[in-house]
Structure 1
């Protein structure tokens, strides 16, 4: 086996790259569930590229600091495949947590996908070495995989438990450490042997060319980090650069914006916020037929539309006056004025909404059946 060592300047630089990429990717998707589906897809894709490219950059920054007694090169195609593999794994993980209802189980699955993707990228990248053959130990491979999955799941559980600034920063530390630790745990279980020159003549990627590519990559990631950091700090301080309330243009009347809702007089009752096209709008509670829990958020049913509301179901229940709204089920708040009919089913029931195509019916749980019937005048 060949003796080898690491340059600690490159070791520290690789750790910095891992942290920069982790923060940039995780903070970019903060609030993405409130965006339109098209914007959400673009944002999640960009985050996947940042995280995947960051993992690749961290690996090859560390490899630039690897000192061996013989020269070695990298196969350009294998090197590219390793980068694309990391991006695909990150994309799959982000799709799992950002599309559909987010649950703790889905977060664990996404973290596991990331935990598998990091060592897969590492070993694909290592297989691209020319003139030097890496030899792996079972303990090194298993240890790297176990550590990667454990730290990745932990970082995702923290970052996606609540999408607060504190959670994102803590998740960044976990993710960055996962990428960094996996590389060096894997390297500790790797030996190197001289390899004969390949029969096929393939233009090699020298360490100089790799250094040039990694430097450009690090520069781009740092720029993204600065931009994300600036917007992250603005959100943290409440957007101090936003125009004063008096300087803002008035919000358009909601009735003209929501399909399926006829124009009406300006709302006089309490209003409920909802997110659309990267803006917060407000709707009169009287226009809403029902509110359904969706993880930490809720969905408003209005005519033919489903609107994303940043309130939780508990917050909605506390904020909306109970004069006509009531909880019919653990996941539903119902506007009794919009109920067109009621059906009794053994020990539970169903409320129907003929004038709300987006919500044909809502279940009534057994524990709330008597109260709902009484409020409906039955």
Structure 2
């Protein structure tokens, strides 16, 4: 087996990069429930690139820290495949958290996917090495995989148990360190044997070019980290999409009329009077409530909102929409269906009315 030594300065750099990538990815996903679906997709993609790219960069910075007795190269195909695997699985883990109900089993599955992204990326990247041959057994792979799944699950649980700044920082430390822990645990169980100087099967990357590629990636991650950090520090305790204080009830309607509608922000639940809400839209197992101040995330399902608010003037006009009939500014007939129009709503000016519900809505509106 080959003997190698580490450059501990590069090891320290690999851990720092892992931490920056973890923070960037987790900070980008904060407040996604209050943005449009298109923006949510974009930010999840950016977060996946940050997390996956950070896993990959940490691995190869740590590999560059190893000083072998022989010259080593890296096959281009598995090297590229390793970063794509990391980004894909990080993205899948985030999708599980942001599209669907956040149950305990779903969090565990997301953490397992994220952890597997670390360990699969590691062994795929390790298989790219040429000039020597990595030798590892099933026990080492099992230990590294188990650690990756456990630590990934812990990071997801902390990050999404409560969406506070403190939780994001704690999850950053857990996930950033977990990438390094899994890498060096796997390397502890891995040896490197001399090879007979086989001819490379495809394009190869030498250490100098790999270092340049890693440097560029680390620079991008550092830039994203600085921008995310600035946004994180300057962010107010309330999101831009949600009102800082619950909007007041209309002048002639008491704030206590009917049950209050809950909305969530950073793990804290606030309440709105029904009269402050113009419409409610289904969003999977949850709902989005539209007010004059903006839209907010409500943990009720559309069916639960209908049941609780029907006595407060709300009416189900579509399978995905409830409207506050007292705040409908205009009704427009469209052949067999219709539209409810609202004034003063930046995010929603009209709501579709299904054909079967037009007669009942017209009666509610006094038409």
Stretch moving more, 153-162 or 202-211: 202-211
**After superposition, where does 1:134-149 map in structure 2 within 5 Å?**
134-149=134-149
Quick one: distance in 2 between partners of 1:15 and 1:81?
22
| Change in 2 beyond 3 A, CA 1:356/1:140 | closer
RMSD: 3.5
Is the CA contact (8 Å cut-off) linking 1:135 and 1:190 kept in structure 2? yes
Deviations 1:39-80 (A, max 9, x none): 100110110011001100000000010111111110111110
SS at match of 2:133: strand
Quick one: distance in 2 between partners of 1:44 and 1:146?
26
Whether 2:336 is the aligned partner of 1:336: answer no
Instruction: Give unpaired runs (5+ residues) of structure 2.
Output: 244-249, 265-271, 323-367
Is the CA contact (8 Å cut-off) linking 1:17 and 1:218 kept in structure 2? yes
| Number of equivalences | 301
Is the CA contact (8 Å cut-off) linking 1:274 and 1:308 kept in structure 2? no
Quick one: distance in 2 between partners of 1:233 and 1:19?
17
**After superposition, where does 1:49-88 map in structure 2 within 5 Å?**
49-88=49-88
Whether 2:35 is the aligned partner of 1:35: answer yes
SS at match of 1:334: helix
1:177: how far off?
1.1
Whether 2:209 is the aligned partner of 1:209: answer yes
TM-score by length of 1: 0.71
| Change in 2 beyond 3 A, CA 1:356/1:274 | farther
**After superposition, where does 1:215-294 map in structure 2 within 5 Å?**
215-235=215-235, 268-269=252-253, 270=255, 285=275
TM-score by length of 2: 0.73
Whether 2:358 is the aligned partner of 1:358: answer no
Residue 114 of structure 1 corresponds to which residue in structure 2?
114
Residue 181 of structure 2 corresponds to which residue in structure 1?
181
Is the CA contact (8 Å cut-off) linking 1:26 and 1:172 kept in structure 2? yes
1:6: how far off?
1.4
Which of these residues, 288, 291, 309, is aligned with residue 296 of structure 2? Answer: 309
Quick one: distance in 1 between partners of 2:295 and 2:171?
25
1:300: how far off?
3.6
Is the CA contact (8 Å cut-off) linking 1:290 and 1:334 kept in structure 2? no
Whether 2:19 is the aligned partner of 1:19: answer yes
| Change in 2 beyond 3 A, CA 1:23/1:218 | same
Quick one: distance in 1 between partners of 2:201 and 2:304?
69
SS at match of 2:309: strand
| Change in 2 beyond 3 A, CA 1:80/1:287 | closer
1:236: how far off?
5.2
| Change in 2 beyond 3 A, CA 1:57/1:81 | same
Quick one: distance in 2 between partners of 1:83 and 1:291?
38
Quick one: distance in 2 between partners of 1:39 and 1:215?
29
Is the CA contact (8 Å cut-off) linking 1:54 and 1:221 kept in structure 2? yes
SS at match of 2:205: coil
